[in-house]
Chains A and B, each alone.
Chain A
Amino acid sequence: MKNKQMKMARIENDLSQEQLAMRVGVTRQTIGLIEAGKFNPSIHLCVLICKALHKTLDDIFWEENIDETNHG
């Protein structure tokens, strides 16, 4: 499932994928794969991304499907 929240947060911070990748210490491809929903980062990497984008874990990594299921 695509991570649109992460992409939007990155754009809000005026960062390219490459710039975000450099800030958190991973490759641009890794950022792209996370945004495309094709790679699940570790909690450590999730926290680094959130700090770089000035967001919380819920803001970026909370899955909307799970949320909709829990609330009927």
Chain B
Amino acid sequence: MKRITDERQQYEIYRIEHFALWIVFWLLVASIPVQLLLFREPVMMLGECASVLIVSVFILISFAKRGLWGSCTTPSLKTHLLSGLLTAVIGTSIIAILVWGKDSFLSFVLLSFVALFLVAFALSYAVGMVVKKREEALADETDEPH
């Protein structure tokens, strides 16, 4: 189908879609703990979790392939620590809702926090290394021969 919009209209369409899809993404993420609190049935959220996971993996792979990390940050110890911390806090909050009132609640939550932090930190570090290498490789591709 032939495009009938000019570059400015297309740019505005991209901006609208960009905001709309990010709103949908974060509403999906927010709906997971809300539904957990209301229904306490993790199975009911499989659809939302799968959707968030698929989109997140897609974004991660697409960014890494193009040697991109983010608009305002670069892969560094600070960003890896922040990624780990953010994931641990969000993940542990969800787990805390699931195990609320059960035996060894505190130790389970602490263990989850540490485990999530370590996994997220390691993943962030690994992706950061891939992004840096990919960025260099892409720059080399367009470099003039010496």
Total A-B residue contacts, Cβ distance less than 8 Å: 18
Interface size range of chain B in the complex: under 10
CB neighbours of B9 from chain A (8 A): 27, 30
Stretch in contact with the other chain, from A8-16, A38-46, A59-67: A38-46
- Taking the complex as formed, is B136 at the interface, i.e. its CB lies under 8 A from any CB of chain A? no
CB neighbours of A29 from chain B (8 A): 8
- Taking the complex as formed, is A33 at the interface, i.e. its CB lies under 8 A from any CB of chain B? yes
> Using a Cβ–Cβ cut-off of 8 Å, how many residues does chain A contribute to the interface with B?
10
CB distance from A15 to the nearest CB of B (A): 17
Bound-state Cα–Cα, A17 to B60, Å: 43
Which chain A residues numbered 21 to 72 have a C-beta less than 8 Å away from chain B? 25-27, 29-30, 33, 39, 41-42, 45
Kindly report which residue of chain A lies nearest to residue B6, judged by CB atoms. Answer: A26
